[in-house]
Amino acid sequence: MNDKKKKPQKLKARLPRGFVDRSAADIRAVDEMTAKIREVYERYGFDPVETPLFEYTDALGKFLPDSDRPNEGVFSLQDDDEQWMSARYDLTAPLARHVAENFNDIQLPYRTYRAGYVFRNEKPGPGRFRQFMQFDADTVGAAGVQADAEMCMMMADTMEALGIARGDYVIRVNNRKVLDGVLEAIGLGGDENAGRRLSVLRAIDKFDKFGREGVSELLGAGRKDGSGDFTKGAGLDQRQIDVVLMLFGLEELLKNDRATDEVWQALDQQGRINAAEKEHVRYEGIKGGLAIAVGQTSTGNEGLAELDAIWNSLKAAGYNDGRVRIDSSVVRGLEYYTGPVFEAELQFDVTNEKGEKVVFGSVGGGGRYDGLVSRFMGQPVPATGFSIGVSRLMTALKNLGKLGMEEVIAPVVVCVMDRDTESLGKYQQFTQALRHAGIRAEMYQGNKKNFGDQLKYADRRGSPLAIIQGGDERAQGVVQIKDLIEGKRLSGEIEDNTAWREARVAQVSVPEADLVAKVREMLAEQAEDRARTAQD
């Protein structure tokens, strides 16, 4: 019998599917972007709050857009007293719990923002991850749709604060009451049809993904995808499908409408054609089409009145110039929306993974969710909010060259020439002096004693300078500062040892007391060189 112990099997390092590691550049880009978003939110009077990554599962509710039970779309576990908890799938449901639990201590209207990771237990794919960051702003306790209009204005200001020009984005607004009115008008009213209404909403929320034909199939008998998987449809007949799809055709109808053309001509004769006037005519046409679709339904007409109030608020504040527009095709898939819904959409083209030119599309959305806090309270608590998809928006900003452009200088490396206590103390002293002066610096902490290997390390780090002090320099009270950027440039021009010795301008000797001042001066010269190179 062989009693020899088996060698432990080496653990395989592997990243879970649907998750990503983030690099220093990505982290800095997100920090840069969220700082700009935060500045806008603060300017609007919103304050930060933070909720935990996990909530009790029943507190999250059954609101995921693509599943009927929470544990189908979220990551769940049981704690030590066997209560089910789930990782949050958005930042809104946890806020509702927070407000309800602290209702007596919160000043209403409660205006708050928060950024954080959310988790979806869904099949990952290209650009679709199981963990991603959102940045939300919400107003709880404000019943008037002026709060919704303000959300849309704030989103427009946020897009522009991030460097996205007018015309490259639009905030699109609709109302779930209008949609409910349309569904009621085609015979899907009443509690008995609640499931079918939700199926319709989820189907038309996929218009950007599947197009008119795919959504038509989902509204009818169902749709089979390329892999053969079949998704059961909402079971509408063709007449009902045509009415629902009309919501996506109002823009096209307006373009071919003679009455609209006559209005344009009248405005042209008055010399009044501008962005705001065009949007007004467009809005009146959209409103007219929706009025026909909702018919006499009270819910639908209430939604139209709310859209009108939002439009008037936008007009009064000057946001009716195309930045924010009423759009009958906006749905939002989550079940908890009860009134106005809105999306921030980017209008410029990008190249997808197939090399095709496509419009970038939505980078955030939100709406009114008056019932979400009320679930805990037993009394009405109005609320509205907006969520930005940080990772997706970061991709868009990189496409525009608006992000990650800030220069991050690698640290100055203080080399370790001698390892006795006195020498190590000196090197640490130099490092701290640079840090206290606001200069990124690190003392070499590796095991290699070879000076050349330390310089290779500094070069791979992209360090601008190396600080060198051996025994001879220490005895003289001086340090050597090696310009690694200039040295790299010169090394490409030097052909022999004589030229190398003559090129010592890449390394200077200064008294210890002048170290910080000289390092600052050399870093400034490098910055000027980079600026000149960028201009050339």
For 315-345, how does the pLDDT look when each residue is reduced to its tens digit (9 = 90+)?
999 999 999 999 888 887 667 889 999 999 9
CA dihedral 257, 260, 264, 269 (to 10 degrees): 110
The low-confidence residues of the chain, meaning pLDDT below 70, are 1-5, 62-72, 127, 251-273, 333-334, 350-359, 404-406, 488-505, 536
Give the DSSP H or E segment for 33.
helix 24-43
pLDDT at 530: 84
CA gap 289, 246 in Å, rounded: 9
What is the three-class DSSP state of 78? strand
Residues ≥6 apart with Cβ < 8 Å to 424: 416, 418
CA distance 510 to 311: 67
Nearest CA to 414 out of 370, 371, 452, 445 is that of: 445
Position 433: which residue type? A
Q: Using an 8 Å Cβ cutoff, are 124 and 130 in contact?
A: yes
In single-letter form, the type of residue at position 376 comes to: F
The single residue listed with the structure tokens 């909720």 is 51
Neighbours of 138 (CB within 10 A): 27
The Cα 405–Cα 306 span in angstroms is 42
Phi, psi of 363 (to 5 degrees): -125, 5
Please give the Cα distance from 2 to 279 (Å, whole number).
Answer: 84
Q: What pLDDT is attached to residue 56?
A: 92
- 170, 154 in Cβ contact below 8 A? no
Per residue in 32-62, pLDDT tens? Answer: 999 999 999 999 999 999 999 999 988 887 6
Look-up of token digits 């006195």: 422
SS3 453: helix
481-534, pLDDT tens digit by residue? 999 988 766 655 555 555 545 554 578 999 999 999 999 999 999 988 888 877
Q: What is the pLDDT of residues 151-178, one digit of tens each?
A: 999 999 999 999 999 989 999 999 999 9
What SS3 class is residue 117?
A: strand
Q: Which of 240, 182, 210, 200 is nearest to 333 (CA)?
A: 200
For residues 294 and 301, the answer to whether their CB atoms sit within 8 Å is: yes
What is the pLDDT at residue 69?
A: 43
- Cβ within 8 Å of residue 465, ≥6 positions away: 412, 413, 481, 482, 483, 484, 519, 522, 523
Q: Say if residues 388 and 14 touch (Cβ distance below 8 Å).
A: no
Q: How many CB atoms lie within 10 A of CB 465?
A: 28
State both tokens at 274: 């501008």
Contact yes or no for 50/116 (Cβ under 8 A): yes
What's the pLDDT at 504?
46
**Tokens at residue 1, please?**
């019998």
Which of 299, 343, 329, 326 lies closest to 204, judged by CA? 329
